[in-house]
A = this chain, B = another copy of it.
Amino acid sequence: MRTASPTPTREDKPTTERIMRSPAYLLALAVALLALRLPAPAVAGRPLKPAPAEAAATARWLAAQNTWGVLSTISSDLKGAPFGNVVSYSDGVPGESHGIPYFYLTTLDPTARDALVDDRTSLTLSEFPLGTCGKKDPENPSCAKLTLTGKLKVVDHQSPEADLAKTALFSKHPEMEGWPKNHNFEIFKLDIEHIFLIDWFGGPKPISPSEYLEYGRNQGSLMSF
């Protein structure tokens, strides 16, 4: 970048250059450039969305960037109806996602109770709340949508996986650590069996669970979300 001219000859330089060197202009320009990336404030620090053709990368990006979604179960209370519930989740600490969604649920809530009776579950995520869809409609195929379907399992709270899951959850959801102990929150995970991703026109992209889970391994930190 330009550096301030140390000499008094500055007054002789063209006006445009003087303006462009002023700290006020540079600050305003920086904010303006940020604003032009709109909705930049919603995506500040967010890794760029992968290209639509990179299906596994896009699915992992959606899972890593979102912090909540809808978990759908077969409802015990409602005679087998599909029941969606808003939940928080985490698939890793920020910048180190692994793709497996972990949850912190209590059987005071129907979702955990349902899963203990019938563990078939899906987790649904949208790109829309990330602020990167711009003016596109949430149902527009280029505003990405991900549904991970599989089995919702309790994680043994004495296992090393439970420690990893807690670190992943509490780093993205700090208030969870203080939730009432007598509500008996347990860690659950989704064992993914099927992936439904829409990130462009032309129908869902086929991705296998192993393609999804192995994405980014051995690709270094630049590829992790």
Contacts and interface: CB of A to CB of B under 8 A. Distances in A.
Given A19-B19, A28-B25, A85 B147 contact: yes
Interface stretch (A45-53, A65-73, A92-100): A65-73
A39 interface: yes
Contacts of A19: 18-19, 22, 24-25
A3 B14 CA distance: 7
A104 B138 CA distance: 12
A219 B112 CA distance: 39
B72 A84 contact: yes
Contacts of A34: 35
Contact of A139 (B14, B86, B129, B139): B86
A119 to B, nearest CB: 10
A86 B145 contact: yes
Interface in A91-146: 104, 108, 110, 120-126, 128-129, 136-140, 145
B68 A128 contact: yes
Interface residues of A, number: 75
A120 to B, nearest CB: 4
Given A32-B35, A68-B138, A82 B86 contact: no
A39 B145 CA distance: 23
A27 B35 CA distance: 12
21 contacts: A1-B17, A1-B20, A10-B15, A11-B15, A15-B22, A19-B25, A22-B25, A25-B28, A28-B32, A35-B35, A67-B138, A69-B70, A70-B124, A71-B84, A81-B122, A82-B82, A82-B121, A84-B84, A85-B147, A85-B196, A88-B137
Given A15-B18, A82-B121, A85-B147, 5 more contacts: A22-B25, A24-B29, A74-B74, A84-B122, A85-B124
